[in-house]
Every structure is written in C-alpha cells, then in structure tokens.
Structure 1
Amino acid sequence: MVMVLSPLFFVFMLGLGLTPLTLAQDDHRYRRFLSQHYDPKPKGRDDRYCESMMKRRKLINPCKDVNTFIHGKKNDIKAVCGDSNGKPYRDNLRISKSPFQVTTCKHKGGSLRPPCRYRATKAYRVIVIGCENGLPTHFEESFIPPSQ
C-alpha cells in the first residue's frame, strides 16, 4: 500500500509545486499587459503624451510602430475576459461589449532608434484582447464600433 501511495504522493506534491509558477507566469503577463497598454488617468493625450508614455514604458528601443493605451479601470478591462463586458472573438480572443477611451500612438516614421516621434489619436473604441486565466495578457486591436 505504501508503494502505491508513494508515486501518487509524488505527483500530487509536484502539482502543488508547479501551481504557483503557473500563477506567477500569468501574473507576469498581466503586469506586462498593464505596463504596455494601461494608463488610468492620462494627461493630454496628444503627441507629447505618446512620446513621453512610450519612453516611460520603455517601448522605444527600437521605436515601437503602434501602441494603444487603454484608459479607465482595471476591473473594467478584466471584465472583457469574462461575460460581463466581453464576448468571444476570432482566434480565442475577446471583444469588449462596450467602448473604452483609448489613445493610439503611431510612430511617425524615420529611424527606429530614439528619439522616437509619435502621432496620437484619441477615441472611444471597442477593444480586442487575449486573456489567460481571466486576466488580459495581449492587446490585439481596437476599432470604432459600428453605429446601431
């Protein structure tokens, strides 16, 4: 009996040991998503906003071509990963049921090395994100919802 339990016990303990690593990886991807795409209280939302935010968030080495910042509450963005504010979209993505205030920063061209120059576009848009374990981990796109 002890011989039979020993391998099962080992598998159980291994599973317990790996669970925190998986959760930590999800948390890391979520924190990276927030760092790249979340700004709750933006100031200005103009070209200077984009240039300073891209630099502050370390997205300029090389100059990132396009990046979108989502404004609002973290819980509202997380809700896109569930049914309260999201629904399935193509390729295992989720689309928001309601628009978010966003600022999209587009590289103006030229060299991909700093200093990077960006053009800001501000709008209310639905967002398409990838989620893992109920947390946003990837920003796919945003677009103006069609009028109903």
Structure 2
Amino acid sequence: MHFKGAGPVLFALLAMVFIVGTYAADYKTFLRQHYDNPKSNVGKRYCDTMMKRRGMTKPMCKAVNSFVHASKKQIIAVCGKDGKPYGNGLRRSKKQFSVTTCKHQGGSTRPPCKYKENKSNRYIVVRCSRGKPVHLDKTQI
C-alpha cells in the first residue's frame, strides 16, 4: 500500500516516455523515408534500390515516395525561419530543394517493386513536431 501515491507519478512518467519515444520515431521515420543527402550513388535503378533499402517494398510496394537531397539542417529549417505556414499545421519551404520522386510503375503491388524516377527542384511541404519534420506531405514545382 505504500505505493499508492506513486501511481499517478508513474503514469505521468510513462506517458512522457511514450510521447518522447513517438516523436523520436517520427523524425527517424521521416529521415529513413525522405532524406538522402547527398543523393546515393546506387546505379541506374535509384528508386528500385532506395525504396527496397529503406524498407518501403514489404509487405507491399509503396505507391509514391519522395527523397529530399538537402542537409538535415536545411530541411529542419523549413520548420522555422525557412518555411511558412501552409494550413492544417503544415509548413512550405521558402526555397526549392532537389527532390527525387519514385512512383510505382503499376502491375503487382507485391515485390519485386519497379519504380519510375522523376528528379527536379521543388518546394517541400512538411508537418513539424518540436521543430523537426515528421511527415512529408507533398512536393510542389
């Protein structure tokens, strides 16, 4: 019975660990799915290789994914001075970034996955949490 007063404190501590862990995972997930700087030199089939390498082909092929070829510092800055509000808590970059978008070519959504690559300079739209990007909403030319 002497732990009666510790229950609420323990609950608050566990909740904080969960929230911090979720945030860290979201930023790490963002980096895994969307950050590639400098652009990896993986040969002619960049999208096929990178989508597989980053875990976006199992159990099904992800339909579309974009990789941003800029420093972490530049991407994080979109959450601050280098971005502007874009509605629904999103931020749009003030400058364009080099971006490669991989689109699944159709057919089976099961591996092996085949992607078409489109590289261009685009604005990025991100959702931020605690000053860091946690979701790439879209890219705009």
Q: 1:131 aligns with which of 125, 128, 133?
A: 128
Distance change (3 Å), C-alpha of 1:94 and 1:47: farther
Structure 2 counterpart of 1:73: 71
Q: Distance in 1 between matches of 2:74 and 2:124?
A: 12
AA matched with 1:50: C
C-alpha RMSD of matched pairs (Å):
2.1
Q: Confirm or deny: 8 A CA contact 2:102 2:116 kept in the other structure.
A: yes
Match of 1:37 among 34, 41, 45: 34
What residue identity is the alignment partner of 1:52?
A: T
Describe the SS at the equivalent of 1:51.
helix
TM-score under structure 2 length normalisation: 0.86
CA positional deviation for 1:134: 1.1
Contact map agreement 2:64 2:101 (CA 8 A) in 1 = yes
Superposed displacement of residue 133, structure 1: 1.4
- Distance, in Å, in 2 between the alignment partners of 1:133 and 1:96 is 17
Other structure's SS at 2:61 match: coil
Q: CA deviation at 1:53?
A: 0.1
Give the match for residue 108 of structure 1.
105
Aligned residue type for 1:99: Q
1: distance between equivalents of 2:18 and 2:75? 24
- The structure that is helix-richer by fraction is 1
- In structure 1, the gaps of 5 or more residues are 1-6
State yes or no: 1:94 paired with 2:91.
yes
Indicate the percent of aligned positions where both proteins have the same amino acid: 44
Q: How many residues align?
A: 137
Q: Which amino acid aligns with 2:17?
A: P
Distance change in 2, residues 1:46/1:69 (3 Å): farther
Partner of 1:142: 139
Normalised to the residue count of structure 1, the TM-score between the two structures is 0.83
The 8 Å contact of residues 47 and 118 in structure 1, kept in 2 or not, is answered as no
